[in-house]
Amino acid sequence: MAMRFRQLKLTSKYSVGVYRSKIHRRGLFCLRDFEAGEMVIEYSGEVIRSVLTDKREKFYNSKGIGCYMFRIDDNLVVDATMTGNAARFINHSCD
């Protein structure tokens, strides 16, 4: 699995790109067609407990920083705001 993620890190640079978005300031866009079920990019960042998310969001907002968090489960969230990769610009409501 580790080898798969290393390969994904290399190939994602040619598969997706961050560009200006009409919906938000930036968005992640496909640079090629994908197979159904194909892994495109890993959402990376700092894994934190859910109880910290509100506090961090308030801090980011007070500094004028966009907030990029992705909930894993009831207890854990990946905070990609400061340490994440391009995956944070994915529109998570896409089909």
Over range 86-92, report the average pLDDT.
82
pLDDT tens profile 15-60: 898 899 887 788 889 899 988 988 888 888 999 999 999 999 999 9
**3-class SS shares of the chain: helix, strand, coil, % to 5:** 35, 20, 45
Residue closest to 92 by CA, chosen among 74, 64, 72, 62: 72
Report the alpha-carbon distance of residue 67 to residue 59 in Å, rounded. Answer: 9
Q: Give the H or E element holding residue 41.
A: none
Residue 2 has pLDDT above 90, yes or no: no
Integer Cα distance of 50 and 34 in angstroms: 32
pLDDT of amino acid 65:
92
Q: 10 Å Cβ neighbour count for 59?
A: 12
The predicted structure's pLDDT at residue 38: 84
Q: Which domains does the chain have, with CATH numbers?
A: 1-89 (2.170.270.10)
Least confident of 51-60, 67-76, 82-91: 82-91
